Amino acid sequence: MPFEFELIKKDTGSSARLGRMITAHGTVNTPVFMPVGTQGTVKSLTPEQIKSCGTQIILGNTYHLYLRPGHETIKKLGGLHKFMNWTDPILTDSGGFQVYSLGKLRKITADGVIFRSHIDGSKHFLTPQKAVEIQEALGSDIMMCLDECTPYPATLSETKKSLDLTVKWAKLCRAAKASTEQAIFGIVQGGTYLDLRKQAVEEIIPIGFDGYALGGVSVGEPKEIMYSIAEAITPLLPEDKPRYLMGVGTPADIVYGVSCGIDMFDCVIPTRCARHGLLFTNSEKIVIKNARFREDDGPIDETCDCYTCKNFSRAYLRHLYFAGEILAMVLNTIHNVHYYMRLLAQIRAALEENSFTEFKNTFLKKEGGI
């Protein structure tokens, strides 16, 4: 089944939207958050546990899967869904971001990026065509174009040069796509320069993608800049296609992003924080190792109905954390992923009930602003 996006409803008080993506592996209600499954696993959780948190779609990292175990191996074994036993939708990134952040001795040319593996030092050449070939072998439902993630800070001329390369590669990625079942999204770069972001939109849209992402955000720039990009650029993207804010973010970032018209988010925050004992709740962020939880027999969050909160106390989770037990990571991750999924469900319900602006104002006030 080819990819489709249905815009169900537009909010009257903001640019927020309620929608639905139909993919080869099922329907995804938007706005949606995608937990990150870097190595073909959302760290510490089984697919059943990921699903029980309310997850609709996960993200897989092309760079890691390409280097280990290799996309051809995964293809031979029936694709990424079968390999990791996740039957719901998967979005894969292009591998570009990790090449820039993890790859050693990387060199960007007009045709792609040459880098050495962070695992064994072997040399690789990732081209736009290769990024699509890898993602088609993985069999994800949504593929991303190879782009150059402009670092922060970057001068206007550096950013312009980088943007031109991203546009060139976007055309090559679009042309390389052979799969009819997999969607491909274009990425809007342009760094912190709104004029370049607008130029990117004008150049990327005519190529014709199934969805559009704002990339190069959350790369160290001040939060206000990320917010101003989301606010100014999201409305310029086609209304009838999904919009994805890459690598964002905190619960407050997500609520704000939705109000700008963003439909999709991904971030390592809920899973990474969980592994470090930082837990999200409706009233506060909990550092589970705090002494005040030593004899606390209450759940992480009284209002949470996740497996962890229904069955375990803060005192027990604190004990597991200090003992370095694997179960600490499992239980904490279940709670944090569930928290994010519940937040997105609350956002969708508020949009349904025409109360999103009220929800947003109350939520951001509680979080202490954006």
In the complex, minimum distance from the CB of residue 174 to Zn ion, in angstroms, rounded to a whole number:
42
Give 163 or 306: the residue with its C-beta nearer to Zn ion: 306
- 114 membership: H or E segment, kind and range: strand 112-116
What one-character DSSP code corresponds to residue 94?
A: -
* Residue with Cβ nearer Zn ion (258 or 309): 309
Q: Which is nearer to Zn ion, 193 or 280 (CB)?
A: 280
Is residue 149 at the binding interface for Zn ion, with CB under 5 A as the rule? no
Residue 93 annotated in active site: yes
Q: Which of residues 335-364 bind Zn ion (CB under 5 A)?
A: 335
Q: Which of 50, 126, 304, 341 binds Zn ion (CB under 5 A)?
A: 304
Contact region with Zn ion (CB under 5 A), list: 37-45, 173-181, 287-295, 302-310: 302-310
Strand, coil or helix: what is 237? coil
- 297 labelled catalytic: no
By CB under 5 A, residue 309 contacts Zn ion: yes
Q: Which of 90, 99, 288, 306 touches Zn ion (CB under 5 A)? A: 306
* Closer by beta carbon to Zn ion, 241 or else 335: 335
User: Do strands 90-92 and 278-280 pair parallel, antiparallel, or not at all (unpaired)?
Assistant: unpaired
Q: Residue 145, interface with Zn ion (CB under 5 A)?
A: no
The residue annotated as part of the active site, out of 11, 93, 141, 253, is 93
- Does the footprint of Zn ion cover residue 248 (CB under 5 A)? no
For residues 349 and 16, the answer to whether their CB atoms sit within 8 Å is no
Decide: 219 and 267 in contact? Cβ < 8 Å.
Answer: no
User: Torsions phi, psi of 178, nearest 5?
Assistant: -110, -25
- Least distance to Zn ion, CB of residue 335, Å: 4
* b/e per residue 21-58 (b: at least 16 CB within 10 A): bbbbbeebbbbbbbbbbbebebbbbebebbebbebbbb
Catalytic residues, by residue number, are 93, 266
Q: Which residues bind Zn ion (CB under 5 A)?
A: 304, 306, 308-309, 335
